[in-house]
Structure 1
Amino acid sequence: MLAGKDPLTALAPMQAVSSLEFWQVMQEYGGPDLYFTEYFRVHSTSRLNKFILRSIDQNPTGKPVIAQMIGNDIPALIRTAKELEQHPVAGIDLNLGCPAPIVYKKCAGGGLLRDPLRTHRILGVLRDAIEIPFSVKTRLGFENTDNYEDLLDIFSQHNLDLLTVHGRTVKQMYRSTVDYKAIQKAAKTVSFPLLANGNVYSAEHAAEVLNTTQSAGWMIGRGAIRNPWIFCQIRSMLKGEAVKLPTGRDVLGYIENLFETLIIDPYEEKSHVMRLKKYMNFIALGIEADGIFLNAIRRTSSKKEFLSVCRDHLDHTRLMPLEPYSIPVKHCDILAGAHR
């Protein structure tokens, strides 16, 4: 799964974000070494989501793709994994970290961390059934970290091909400091590669995270929405080269690219502008510190208004900051929270 890459960069599986079109945009700015799909919901009557499957079968990046599943029904998980193996995936990942209440209340995603024995059974069966690399994305625990060591022991027993650890508990969602020392504990405990996940926002910060966690690389999500150059910046840093910083016009070009590339047929202008605001919640954190740009974007409802606000703030050649400003994102957004 690591394909000789050391350290590895991966784009996180972000639901309703990590589409084929978003991957296409990410790749235009350098892209990661590895892409993870949005999760396939798995239950007794589930079928492979055609929209997500499209990102696998029509993968525009030229990079390996890991298909992620979420669920707790063992026969259904086995069936789905075997179906996914018939498609061009480099591996299959099980989501044990999703913090969305609608997910964890069904004992799926991060909800499974409350039941280590059930998690143990699921991993054992999937490890035996899956014939390609098998990985897990997890958190430090559900309510707290009391059973974190037990979970690491369970992961170790199943000889995963890759483990990604987000350095918060499920209940913390994205609204607290990331515990990189806890990720380091996992890296020292398991015998397989581990990716550090959570609030990686620049190449310099990525180097600090790598040094602290002793991980095999990084999985980056919200930081890549805000800064699609981050993967190229990390590669430059690893080579000892100067890290190129985007200008305002570079960011403007990125936003215009997103606007055009993410259009879904049939096109409805107001709905599309509303969809783009999900991305702008995070891009805006790197534009100015007072929230003026973000508040102006939130009031737009047409393409003309949307792009006009962007051009008013970004049509310049000044370098943009790498560190996000501390502007609160809408609380209702599942990806909202601390970015530093």
Structure 2
Amino acid sequence: MVHSDRKISPQENRLPPPLQTGLALTALAPMQDVTDLFFMSVIDRYGSPDYFFTEYFRVYTNSGLDKKTLRSITENSTDRPIFAQLIGESIPDLVRIAQSLSHYPIAGIDLNMGCPAPRIYRKNVGGGLLRDPEKVSRILGELRDAVDGRLTVKMRVGFDDTANFDRILDLINRYNIDLLSLHGRTVKEKYHSAVHYDLIAHAVQRVNCPVLANGNVTSANAAATVLSKTGAAGVMVGRAAIRNPWIFKQIRQTLSGQPVSIVTLVEVRDYIERLRQTTTTQPIPERARVSYLKMYLNYIAQGVDAAGAFQHEMRLARTETELFEVCDRHLLSDPNQAFALEPYPGLVARPNCETAREAIVN
């Protein structure tokens, strides 16, 4: 069942209103080094999700509010609500930072319990917290007492197995969490396994708050299928939105029974140009600018040509001139050719954690 005629549940009234009442909720997944102020403004140009989430604020003893991440809140021009995400395990400092952020125009505080990067979970933060339900209980309890507004959680179904899954879902209920964004893999599965949509469906039945299904939501059709499989209140889209910033608009079209907008390669070239503009205001070496753009092009290339010629040539470019010659050759020679709605099979961006910068091919 597609949620195109779905009514908003009482639990969802805890949340800011969606762009289009009656449709499933949509959110851009927080991705470190990607979902900054600039990228959100680019996404907004092509069709915003219902909710944005910041890159995570790293929380530790004497930590402050990262200025770059804070700009995503204070300079947000999208007119869409933005949740401030925290990552950490020091309870007094999580409370301190959450209270500080509460003075800014945020939709709520989000706790990261899902990042699968080894350098993160080895510090017992992000996905590492899923190994310790007692610590999760203490963190959520203290944050719930400290946060007057919405408190949300992004997590995976477990660390290396799902032994703690139900226990943590029950904590979501105990502490009246307002929204659960659930990636249907364990931390150790990273992005390699099939997504366990049955476990997301289980969570939908067990918790009292809306659930956003996360994991392999690669297109509007995939979103509809995931909603049907899970019964979730909506979807959270991460890497697919890097490849296709039109995806949130396309999801709304699909769920409301409208034809999905066809994106042409010349429009993709325009998107790449907008991504390039963020590097022109920063005094960084050319090689760094090229690598920064490749971070995005790794994903975009998955929808340009099935043979992977654009992806291959893009990865070989060493200068901006070379890189944009590749872009123009593949995107402007037949500008009205359609950009693929789904990634072409076999073309992999090779990410290894939610930090998309680690997908750069140098």
Instruction: Tell me the TM-score range normalised by the shorter chain.
Output: over 0.9
Instruction: Tell me, yes or no, if the aligned pair for 1:21 and 1:262 is still in contact at 8 Å.
Output: no
* Structure 1 counterpart of 2:195: 178
Aligned pairs (5 A) from 1:174-323: 174-315=191-332, 316=334, 317-323=336-342
* Distance in structure 1 (CA, Å) of the matches to 2:107 and 2:134: 28
Q: Which has the higher contact order (CA 8 A, sep 6+)?
A: 2
2:64 maps to 47
Contact 2:298 2:349 in 1 (8 A): yes
CA distance in 2 between partners of 1:35 and 1:74 (Å): 25
Q: Is the 8 A contact 1:138 1:164 kept in 2?
A: yes
Question: CA 1:17–1:264 in 2, change beyond 3 Å: closer, same or farther?
Answer: farther
Partner residue in 2 for 1:118: 135
Map 1:8-47 → 2, pairs under 5 A: 8-47=25-64
Distance 2:64 2:91 in 1: 15
* CA distance in 2: counterparts of 1:111 and 1:71, whole angstroms: 10
Number of aligned residue pairs: 337
CA deviation string 1:19-65 (max 9, x = no partner): 10111110010111111000000001211100000111011211111
RMSD of Structure 2 on Structure 1 (CA): 1.6
**Equivalent-residue separation in structure 2 for 1:125 and 1:232 (angstroms):** 37
Displacement of 1:175 in angstroms is: 1.3
Q: Give distance in 1, aligned partners of 2:348 and 2:179.
A: 33
Superposition TM-score, scaled by structure 2 size: 0.90
**Structure 2 unaligned spans of 5+:** 1-13
Give the alignment's TM-score, normalised by structure 1.
0.95
CA–CA distance in structure 2, aligned partners of residues 130 and 331 of structure 1? 34
Distance 1:237 1:2 in 2: 23
> Which letter does structure 2 place at the counterpart of 1:324?
P
Residue 4 of structure 1 corresponds to: 17
Q: Deviation per CA, 1:289-339, whole angstroms, max 9, x where unpaired? A: 3332112111212222111101111112111211112223336565589xx
8 Å CA contact retained: 1:96, 1:112: yes
Tell me which moved more, 108-117 or 312-321. Answer: 312-321
CA contact (8 A) 2:181 2:212 kept: yes
Identity %: 48
- More displaced 10-residue stretch of structure 1: 293-302 or 174-183: 293-302
